[in-house]
Structure 1
Amino acid sequence: MDVDGNDLTNGSKLHQDDLPSDGLSSVFKTFITVIYLVTFILGVFGNGVVIWVTVFKLKRTVNTVWFLGLAIADFAFSLFLPFSTVYIALGFHWPFGTALCKLSSGITVLTMFASILTLTAISVDRCVLVVLPVWSKNYRGPRLAVLASLVLWGVSVALSVPSFIFRDTAVTNSSTLCYTNFLTGAEEAAFESLAPVDYDTAIAEVESLEGARFHSLALARLLFGFLLPLLVIVASYATLSLRLRRSRLAHSGKPFKVIIAIILAFLLCWAPYHICTLMELQYQHSQPLPLALRLGIPLSTSLTSFNSCLNPILYICMGHNFRQSVRRSLQKILENAFVEDSMHYQTSSQAKTKPASLGEEGSTLV
């Protein structure tokens, strides 16, 4: 059985006994607890405000659909952080039952996929907007963006199903653990019946099956939750950059910078987590884990959590000059961050066209 020190990984080998020492373990628990609490407060409040303003105050555009999807994912992620916080604060004791153990882990993985796939869709959308302006003018609109978002969330649900299936609870040493159990009930019964007859074979088969499933899930998450989206994002913006230089297109640039900042924040916050997962694959049956990995897993996990509260901060800081934004309403700040800015086939001498209004879905933008 593989016990997680958090709810953010399917097959993490981090166990409370893997922390370097009692003193350092206490420091790490305190540090992660503080990060989770801060992220919960900022994430729920910030993303909640973005959702409310986007739904009730802003006109529906393609950009607002994309940003609403990101806010919903980050809000859901933040909402479940108190369960992880309590779990760590109680010394890895899970008092919430098996259903919430599965749900908490599944939601965190689901929102990870939803966030990176939405960022990928935004990148492709902005590339298509410039490369295929006629098609974009005729067909690009909020309805298509909503449909695309629903498809992306459906794919995210499918990719996160193993997190809901394999998460389980068990009582050990008077504590209830929320852990990753790669064996079904039937498989556990079969191995238990084999153990009295041939214990070594039973252990070998259990380790082989758990190892294969851990590798599959870790690599699938790395591939579909990081590497492939990163490849598509880089290709989209490389194509976009080449087209802009070749055609001398003019653009206001602010929404473009907001998107770039959000993408970079996500990639930087999640890259250490995936690196630790790859390292963990090399020490699957090694106990204890190397010191660097024992330190890296909780640190990278807290970093991924903190990402869920960053987007609203970026909207405020980049959506308008910060000193001026504190005197403006949240609606105006988000309008400025999400605006559908115009992109026309103009030479640099004609590049002073005013940005399109929020409702001009036919305008081309970067």
Structure 2
Amino acid sequence: MESFCLISAACGMVGNGMVLWYLGFRIRRNHFTVYILNLAAADFGYLLCIAIETVQYLMQFNVGVQFGIFLFLDLSMYGTGLYLLTAISIERCLAVLCPIWCRSHRPRHLSGIISGLLWGLSLLLNTLGYVLCTVRPSARSCQLLLIAIGSLDFLFCTPLMLLFSLTLFLRVKCSSQNLRTGRLFTVIMLTVLFFLIFAVPLSVLILFDFLGYKFLYSPEIGFVLSCVNSSLNPVIYFLVGSYRDRRI
């Protein structure tokens, strides 16, 4: 499992690094590519933390405070990715349902502002978790905070993402106006689908773990699956971006 994590993380960091370089320096950004740029940064950071933790574990390095730092850092990157995908789903759905309003009234830098706020929210929650669980341990406060984070991820953001993604899919596919889907629609649908399959189990297993329901190798399995998800996202961007036929 550790070897698979390292290989997957290495490939994913290369892929997400290419996405960061391309979206950051090669093309003109719009409000949706800003989200994708931030999502690639979150995936890169998550995979980097997973790789460092895996190397520390394999080398039996000090797994105390330093391990705790990287644990909460990768949970922060994971949360940021979840919040960004939720924001992407909501905004793209609103863009299809209310196109005129979005074109006329949408603030120019809204994507950057929302992305910054979501980064700040995830970092704040996980910094509090690191302080309450590692630096100044308080078993009760630590458990309550981690349950709150797990509930926010699994019971609020995930259903919200699923609801708006499903609404967007049904609006596009069942519309009598023959709306053109385009590559952005395909990227969002595939990214959300793979996130639900590979990344959401981490939130579920962590939440159950903190509630006292222990499963074999949990939440380690959730981290492995989430690592696969972060490594797959650049592949989705590449395949959809290079596919010329819109009938995909």
Aligned to 1:216: 144
| 1:44 and 2:44 correspond | no
Deviations along 1:165-223, one digit per CA (max 9) or x if unpaired, are 14548xxxxxxxxxxx733xxxxxxxxxxxxxxxxxxxxxxxxxx2x335423322222
| 1:123 and 2:89 correspond | yes
Deviations along 1:307-328, one digit per CA (max 9) or x if unpaired, are 221111111223234xx8xxxx
Letter paired with 1:182: P
Structure 1: gaps of 5 or more residues: 1-30, 170-180, 184-209, 325-335, 342-366
Aligned to 1:351: none
Higher strand share: 1
Runs of 4+ in 1 over 6 A off after TM superposition: none
| 1:94 and 2:23 correspond | no
Pick the aligned partner of 2:186 from 253, 257, 265.
257
Letter paired with 1:230: T
Distance 2:28 2:16 in 1: 18
TM-score (norm 1): 0.60
| 1:308 and 2:236 correspond | no
Task: Describe the shift of the 1:133–1:109 C-alpha distance in structure 2 as closer, same or farther (beyond 3 A).
Answer: same
Structure 1 residue 249 displacement after superposition: 4.2
Contact 1:102/1:164 (CA < 8 Å) preserved in 2?
A: yes
Distance 1:281 1:143 in 2: 38
Task: Describe the shift of the 1:162–1:294 C-alpha distance in structure 2 as closer, same or farther (beyond 3 A).
Answer: farther
Task: Describe the shift of the 1:76–1:160 C-alpha distance in structure 2 as closer, same or farther (beyond 3 A).
Answer: same
Q: Which has the larger radius of gyration?
A: 1
Aligned to 1:275: 204
Aligned to 1:54: 23
Aligned to 1:70: 39
Higher helix share: 2
| 1:297 and 2:219 correspond | yes
Matched-pair identity in %: 27
**Range with bigger deviation, 298-307 or 55-64:** 298-307
Distance 1:280 1:60 in 2: 40
Structure 1 residue 114 displacement after superposition: 0.9
Task: Describe the shift of the 1:266–1:121 C-alpha distance in structure 2 as closer, same or farther (beyond 3 A).
Answer: same
Aligned length: 246
Contact 2:129/2:142 (CA < 8 Å) preserved in 1?
A: no
Contact 1:65/1:145 (CA < 8 Å) preserved in 2?
A: yes
Structure 2: gaps of 5 or more residues: none
> 1:216 aligns to what SS in structure 2?
helix
Pick the aligned partner of 2:75 from 109, 125, 133.
109
Structure 1 residue 56 displacement after superposition: 0.7
Deviations along 1:328-361, one digit per CA (max 9) or x if unpaired, are xxxxxxxx9xxxx9xxxxxxxxxxxxxxxxxxxx
Distance 2:168 2:207 in 1: 32
Aligned to 2:164: 236
Deviations along 1:127-159, one digit per CA (max 9) or x if unpaired, are 111222122112336522111111211222222
Structure 1 residue 240 displacement after superposition: 3.0
> 1:80 aligns to what SS in structure 2?
helix
Structure 1 residue 107 displacement after superposition: 1.6
Task: Describe the shift of the 1:247–1:150 C-alpha distance in structure 2 as closer, same or farther (beyond 3 A).
Answer: farther
Deviations along 1:4-30, one digit per CA (max 9) or x if unpaired, are xxxxxxxxxxxxxxxxxxxxxxxxxxx
TM-score (norm 2): 0.86
Structure 1 residue 76 displacement after superposition: 1.2
